[in-house]
Amino acid sequence: MQAKKSAQTVQSDPIGLHFDGHHIQASRGASLLEAWMAAGLPLTENVGCLGQGVCGACRVLVSRPGTRLATTALACTTLAEDGMQVAFIDHFPARRLHPYDLHTMTDSWQAIRQINTAFPEAQHCRHCGGCDRACPKGVEVQRMVNLACAGQATAAGALFEQCVLCNLCVAACPEHIDPAHLGQFVRRMNAALTLRPSDLIMRIHEIEEGLQPIQLDAEGANPPLVKEIVS
């Protein structure tokens, strides 16, 4: 079964690679996840959006021939190359030793203290850059950690805009800082404590005062009288 499947996908110009202990062949232009599937291997984890690169589920370690260092990547947005060595990185939830409750944070004067209470390890950052190297999205993780510690919540949060919560920086950090979750914490805190759009607030007030009633039978809520005949 496996042999048959991979035979089907091999084109005139096949690529050979090692993937999680399997030697597989892939066609040129296939992503690593597609190569895995085309080889007949079961895909029941390490996958989500399958190509958009937004869910952070398909983490792999990749090393290319001639290079000594392995790099992290997302398997759905990385093309298979001849001679690659690839391994899935299993799912690891961040350990949450210091949970926080956004809803109890009402005093923004205490924001810096709250960052330090929820993520005390952040101050131990060694500036080793492990997180930056791990991030497949090019997020400036280390800088965010340092800005967050200095209480610069908006600037810190902005750096984490592209984060897909793959947790690779969490795995990379020797100080157990959970950078990805610190990043989400400052982002969430920024929005929850400071975003107050006036148009939204006005509309909510109108609704509460009964000034936005819905008329179920208004003319526009019913089909036009002359109906088109659709086959």
Partner 1 sequence: MNLPIPELLARYHPDHQAGAMETLLVGVSAGERCPAALAELLQADSLLEDVDIAGAPALDADVLIIGGGGAGCVAALTAARAGARVLLATKLRIGDSNTVMAEGGIQAAVGAEDSLQRHFEDTLRTGHFAADKALVAALVCEGPAAIRWLIQEGMSFDLAKGSPHMGGTLLRKTPGGATAARLLSYKDFTGLELMRTLREAVLLQPGIKVLDRHPALELLADDRGRCAGAVLHDLGRGRPILARASATLLATGGAGRLHLGGFPTSNHYGAMADGLIMAYRLGAKLREMDSFQYHPTGIAWPQHMEGTLVSEAARSAGAYLVNGQGDRFVDELQPRDVVASAVLRELAEGRGVERDGKLGIFLDTPTLERCHPGILKDSLVTLSHLAQRCGIDPAREPLLIRPTLHYQNGGVAIDEAGHTSVPGLLCAGEMTGGLHGRNRMMGNALLELVVFGRRAGAAAAAQARVGLPCNIGLSHLANWRRGLIAHSLSLEKKAPLLFPSYGNFDATNCLRGTTQ
Residues at the interface with ligand FES (CB under 6 A): 47-50, 53-58, 74, 76
Residues 92-151 that bind ligand SF4 (CB under 6 A): 125-131, 134-135, 137, 139, 141-142, 145
Residues 174-193 that bind ligand SF4 (CB under 6 A): 174-175, 177, 179-180
Residues 24-63 that bind ligand SF4 (CB under 6 A): 56
Distances, alpha carbon 183 to alpha carbons 109, 133, 211, in Å: 19, 16, 40
Give yes or no for residue 106 binding partner 1 (CB under 8 A). Answer: no
What do you get for the CA distance between the two ends of the chain, in Å? 46
Q: Rule CB under 6 A: choose which of 89, 115, 168, 186 binds ligand SF4.
A: 168
Binding piece for ligand SF4, criterion CB under 6 A, among 63-71, 81-89, 172-180, 220-228: 172-180
Compare residues 226 and 228 and give the one whose CB is closer to partner 1.
228
Give yes or no for residue 188 binding partner 1 (CB under 8 A). Answer: yes
Which of left, alpha, beta for 202 (phi over 0: left; psi -120 to 50: alpha)?
alpha
Distance CA 204, CA 202 (A): 5
Give yes or no for residue 198 binding partner 1 (CB under 8 A). Answer: yes
Distances, alpha carbon 25 to alpha carbons 17, 29, 36, 77, 140, in Å: 6, 12, 9, 18, 35
69 neighbors 133 (Cβ within 8 angstroms): no
Distance CA 186, CA 177 (A): 14
Compare residues 42 and 69 and give the one whose CB is closer to partner 1.
42
Distance CA 23, CA 39 (A): 9
Least distance in Å: CB of 150 to partner 1? 20
Compare residues 7 and 229 and give the one whose CB is closer to partner 1.
229
